[in-house]
Structure 1
C-alpha cells in the first residue's frame, strides 16, 4: 500500500469534483452534472473554466489540499492557471508519501466539518471492494470521485485491480449502452440508477451493477436486472466510518467485510496498523448473525435523497425563516419507484394568501437557501387559522 500512487489525471478529476462541492457549499454556486464531469486537467481555474474569483480559488485550493492530507494553504499560495497546475503540485507532494485523506460528508450541517482517515485505512476499504468486484475487465463510474466511497470505488479500486477506469459522468444513457462491454462493472447511486433505467439503459452479458449512497429498492433492482445486469452489488458505508459491508439483493442482510467485527451491539474495525478501533455506525443495525445485519434508520434522523444525507428538521427550520411562513413541518414520502422525497406542510403567516405568487416566492427562497436534494417536492399550505388553504 505504501507504493500506491495516483496519476495526475486522477488527481485532477478529484480536484474538479471537490471544487464543485466546495462552490456549492460555501458560495451557493451550482454547476450541472455534465459541466462538472467536463472539468479535466486542462480546464482553466478562471474565465472559460471554473470562473473562480480570488476567494473561491483559495477555498477550492484549500479543499483540494486537505482532501489529500496536506496543510490547507499548500496550494493556496502557489501560482495556478489550470486544474493541471494543482494536480501537478499535489502529485509532487504525494510522491513523498500519502498518509491521510479528509472528506466532507454529503450532509451540510457544518460547511467546515470533515473526517480524516489514514490512507492505509482507505486503501483497506478499496481492497475490500476489489475482492467483491474481482474478475471485471473495466470499471465505469457515474459518480463523482471526491467523496470517500466515490474515491474508493471509482479511483482506488480499479487501481488495485489493475483494470481500466472510465469516468462515465459525461455519458448519456445511450452512450453508456454503446460503451458498456462484456465483463464491465458500472458504479452509480440508486438515484442515478433510476435515471438510467428511465432512459432505458441496456447492458451486455456478464455486466455488474454497483450501488451505494442510499437504499436500493426491490423494484429498482428488478428493473436493473431486466436491463441486462446479471449481478448486483450494494455497498454500505459512510464518510464517518468508511466502507463496511455489502449484499447482492435488497431483501438480504448486509455482510461485514473482513476488517470489521461485531462488538456486542456495536462495531470494531481492525485497522492495517494492528489497532482495533470501536466505531459507531451512522445507522441503527438489527443484527441477523455475527457478521450480518439489516438497517433500521439513521441515528441522527437524516434521510438519504440522491445519495445526500438530508435533515428534515433543518430543512423545516430554513423554511420557517421565510417571512410568509409561520410554521413548517417536513415529512418524508415515497414516489412510485420507491425514491424518498420531502413533503412540506406549511402554515402561512397572517394575511398571506396561498396563491401562485406566494408559492413562487417560497420556491425561489428554497432555491437560494437549500441544495437540490433538500428542496421539498410537494407543498401543502394552510392559513394561520389552521383552515385548509
Structure 2
C-alpha cells in the first residue's frame, strides 16, 4: 500500500480546491433559495463571472443569503473580512476574499445538514480533525491516478474526499463527473481512477454502464449502499468499493469493503459504554469528545457494527437527506387535503418519494393534484418533490391498523394513481 503524504500545504492553496468549494456552495445555496427555479450554469466558472443579473443572476436577497452561507462555512468572521463579500460582484473577487480570510484563520469549517424539521443547521469541525480523517482514509486508498467526483466539495463528504484527500494521494487531476452520463463515464474511466460518488449515482452506473474498466476503485457515502448494488458493481468490474459511514455532524466514522459485512470504526472513534446513542472521538490533540449518532447501530462483540434505522426519520434521495414528515406538513396546509402520507418508493418502484392524499369531501381530485404539484414545485427542492401521487378515501393501513405502504400499479383504499 502506498504511504501518502500531504505536500500541498493548506487546502485552500491547492489549485482549484477553493474555487470548487465556493462554486459548489453558491450553487447549493441558490438551489435551496430557488426550488423549481432556474439553475446556474455548469462549473468551472470564470473568475470574471458576475454574481448579478448579467451573470449568475443573484438578486440582493440571494446575494446576502449566499454571502452569509459562505461566511458560515469558512468562518470568515474569525478574520473580520466577511463584510467585503457584499461589496464585491464577481466570482473571482469572492474567491480572493475567501482566500485572504482563510490565510488569516482556517482552523475551523462548518458544513450544513438538515434537522428533523428540514431546517438546515451548521455543524462546525476543527480542520485538524478533518485532516486526521483524511490521513487515515488516504492510507486505504493510496495509488490513485485521478479522482472522478460526483459529489459537491462544500458538503463534508465532498470536502474530505475531493479537497483534503487529493493532496494526500499526490493526485492533481480532480474531475467533476456530475453532468456526465454513465455511458460516457464508463469510457472516461481507466485503471488507477478513484471514483467518489454516492449510492444513487452508483445505481445509475450499475444500470447503464455495461462494464467498468479494470483497476478502477470506488468510494460511496451519504447513505448505506445496498448489498445487491455493491455486488452488481463488482460484477461490472469495479476493483474495490470503499463504503464510508458518517454524517455532517460526525464526519467519517466507519468503513467496510464487503457487501453485507459489518462496519469497522476508524481508529480515533470508540463506542460510548455509557450511552449507545453516542460515540467518543479522540482528537489529534489527545482530548476526547462525545458525539450524538444520527442512526441506530447494532454493536457486535468484536467492536464492529451494523446500521439500523435513522433516529431523525430522514430518507435518502439522490444522496441527500429528505424528511417525509416535513413534506407531509406542506401537503396538509392545503385546505382540501384531509390527510396525507409521504414515503420513499419501494426498491422495485424507483428511488424518489411518493405521496398518498386523502381529499376533503367533494374535492375534485384532478384539480387538487394540479394544485399540490404546483405547491411542491415552488416550495420544495427537486429531491423533496413526490414523483407519484395516489388519492383515496383513507390512508392505507395494515391488519393492525398501522400506516402501510401502497403499490404504485394498483388502487389502494379507493385510490386513484396519477
TM-score, structure 1 as length reference? 0.90
**1:137-286 to 2 correspondence within 5 Å?**
137-164=145-172, 165-200=174-209, 202-264=211-273, 265=276, 266-286=278-298
2-structure distance, mates of 1:176, 1:42: 30
- Is residue 353 of structure 1 aligned with residue 364 of structure 2? yes
What residue is the counterpart of 2:53 in the other structure?
47
1-structure distance, mates of 2:325, 2:136: 36
Report deviation, 1:166.
2.1
When residues 220 and 379 of structure 1 are mapped into structure 2, their CA distance, relative to the original with a 3 A threshold, is: same
Does the CA-based 8 Å contact 1:322-1:365 persist in structure 2? no
> Which of 344, 352, 365 is the matching residue for 2:355?
344
1-structure distance, mates of 2:93, 2:302: 49
Q: How many residues are treated as equivalent by the alignment?
A: 386
> Which of 317, 323, 344 is the matching residue for 1:332?
344
When residues 108 and 65 of structure 1 are mapped into structure 2, their CA distance, relative to the original with a 3 A threshold, is: farther
> Which of 302, 315, 321 is the matching residue for 2:327?
315
Report deviation, 1:203.
2.6
> Which of 78, 103, 107 is the matching residue for 1:99?
107
Report deviation, 1:300.
1.4
SS of 2:261 mapped into structure 1: coil
Q: Which runs of 4+ in 1 moved over 4 A?
A: 29-32, 384-387
1-structure distance, mates of 2:76, 2:116: 23
Report deviation, 1:307.
1.7
Gaps of 5+ in 2: 1-5, 397-412
What residue is the counterpart of 2:144 in the other structure?
136
SS of 1:35 mapped into structure 2: coil
Report deviation, 1:107.
5.6
2-structure distance, mates of 1:197, 1:42: 39
When residues 221 and 61 of structure 1 are mapped into structure 2, their CA distance, relative to the original with a 3 A threshold, is: same
What residue is the counterpart of 2:384 in the other structure?
374
Gaps of 5+ in 1: none
What residue is the counterpart of 2:77 in the other structure?
71
CA RMSD after TM alignment: 2.6
2-structure distance, mates of 1:309, 1:204: 31
TM-score, structure 2 as length reference? 0.84
Bigger RCO of structures 1 and 2 (CA < 8 A, at least 6 apart): 2
Report deviation, 1:362.
1.4
For structure 1, which segment, 328-337 or 310-319, has the greater mean C-alpha deviation from structure 2 after superposition? 328-337
